[in-house]
Structure 1
């Protein structure tokens, strides 16, 4: 098949690489390079770099809402557009440009977790499974008919990073299968009564609020690891919290109940023992390693 691929981050790379192996990817759409780093150099997206490596034309429009962009898209005369975390809204003329429309790799088991942050929200909510849905794109957000799903178990060790990587690989497998069998698959409508929305991650969510229960915070810490990561502030310094476990201890919410041999912080219910941490300006490490040369004052209360 002739395919136009539309994607941006690392999540989209396994899908693109599989399509390159199995089909003719005639053009790639991705977000424009951004200035990044101390050198203020333009940094291309992961998808952009893969496309260039394979000699595929790359387009980086700021919008697809204007007529010229839509006409240029339609003139590609592909069979289908495959979308994976692209980051731009697709207007109706783009959605309907090709024979098989636009198929999306969505990182949840739709209709649960439509929206921007399905991976983190699934872990944060305590779901016991997540997955990928291959769906048709329609104008409404993540509301199209579903072609196929793949399921991944969420365990007590699952992080946002590990789930992201697992779903990216499954997405590539599922899209490969759907494209091979697209004429024999009957897509299924979503049950609107089961819809939930995964709102985008906000900066203010990153700071830990110890007025929540330890179980809630432990899930959030895993969900936000490695990005954007949760943190607390102690004596004006920021500490990212990367891994914790719930312990059967208590105190005032935010109180450091142990800060020398271990780091334990009381929550509204039970407490968290911090197992992996990153001090501001330092590398990530085990808390035991940090405490060899640092101590948190027992009885201090984190706000």
Structure 2
């Protein structure tokens, strides 16, 4: 027996789940994703990763600007679905939409709820110095990531993990959970465990100003901040040049011993003092340039001992 499903998702993280669900033989009647957007230097219109993959599978795709519009909801209800699968879709579903599938809507979330509800759970977990996170499938309800948990996998956060590395690991683990979850859903054997609000934290979107490196924090926190924002949007500082200040992203840094004024460069190898200890900047990206290792960066950018960033 197979389930009749709709899939709702947008980025690469969601495309991996769609691939696993389709491979398991379920009837994906419709894919919903964000509309194509103009991107890049040429401003060419680009379809989302989920859109591209759905077309490869031959699945009809819908790209509504507003899923809450009455005609969109009516068409969704008419699909006569067993369930809807939601992975990083980027739109809020109304209660009317949540109630349309016979078995409701299931969502994949990249944290161990109720910790890090919201938009940026992978980045926030690393930035906060968490030692573990996970991927969970929940039954969706009107609240933000508040629904009961149906399936869960825990994933360790390693000291050298960036948000990019952790994203890829969680993407793979999460995608592989769907065949098990949907098989259990068919059998009626998925056990829902209610969330508590105790210890709930919220993973709000990262702002550009928040991404700026605060050298007054301890070296471990500065390193976590950098790793949690690498490769995107990138933790940054300003570097003074002959043509004025330029923004430089730091994509990786390692805590080391060192003492000086916060932001002071302590040697000729990009060791930077923090509020306590120091960090060695090992991979950087100047605004408008490619990412490079520290040695290559220093060949084209003078950052000498004693400079305060």
Shift of 1:292: 3.8
Give the equivalent residue in structure 1 for 2:176.
173
Give the equivalent residue in structure 2 for 1:25.
28
Unpaired segments of 5 or more residues in structure 1?
none
Distance in 2 separating the partners of 1:141 and 1:278: 35
Matched, 1:242 2:254: no
Distance in 2 separating the partners of 1:48 and 1:20: 14
Matched, 1:257 2:266: yes
Give the equivalent residue in structure 1 for 2:132.
129
Matched, 1:35 2:38: yes
Distance in 1 separating the partners of 2:35 and 2:195: 33
**Change over 3 Å in CA distance of 1:190–1:68 after alignment to 2:** same
Alignment deviations for residues 240-264 of structure 1 (CA, whole Å, 9 cap, x no partner): 1111111111111111112x3x111
Give the equivalent residue in structure 2 for 1:266.
273
Work out which of the residue numbers 198, 204, 210 in structure 2 matches 1:199: 204
Matched, 1:232 2:237: yes
**Change over 3 Å in CA distance of 1:192–1:294 after alignment to 2:** closer
Matched, 1:149 2:152: yes
Give the equivalent residue in structure 2 for 1:219.
224
Matched, 1:3 2:10: no
Work out which of the residue numbers 290, 293, 296 in structure 2 matches 1:286: 293
Distance in 2 separating the partners of 1:223 and 1:199: 13
Distance in 2 separating the partners of 1:234 and 1:80: 52
Unpaired segments of 5 or more residues in structure 2?
none
Please give the TM-score of this superposition, normalised by the length of structure 2. Answer: 0.94
Distance in 2 separating the partners of 1:293 and 1:300: 16
- Tell me which moved more, 203-212 or 77-86: 203-212
Q: Which runs of 4+ in 1 moved over 3 A?
A: none
Distance in 2 separating the partners of 1:278 and 1:196: 31
Give the equivalent residue in structure 1 for 2:303.
296
Secondary structure of residue in 2 paired with 1:205 = coil
Give the equivalent residue in structure 2 for 1:138.
141
Distance in 1 separating the partners of 2:134 and 2:209: 27
Give the equivalent residue in structure 1 for 2:80.
77
Alignment deviations for residues 29-50 of structure 1 (CA, whole Å, 9 cap, x no partner): 0001111122221111100000
Shift of 1:281: 2.7
Distance in 2 separating the partners of 1:163 and 1:294: 30
Shift of 1:63: 1.3
Work out which of the residue numbers 41, 44, 48 in structure 2 matches 1:45: 48
Matched, 1:184 2:189: yes
Secondary structure of residue in 2 paired with 1:203 = coil
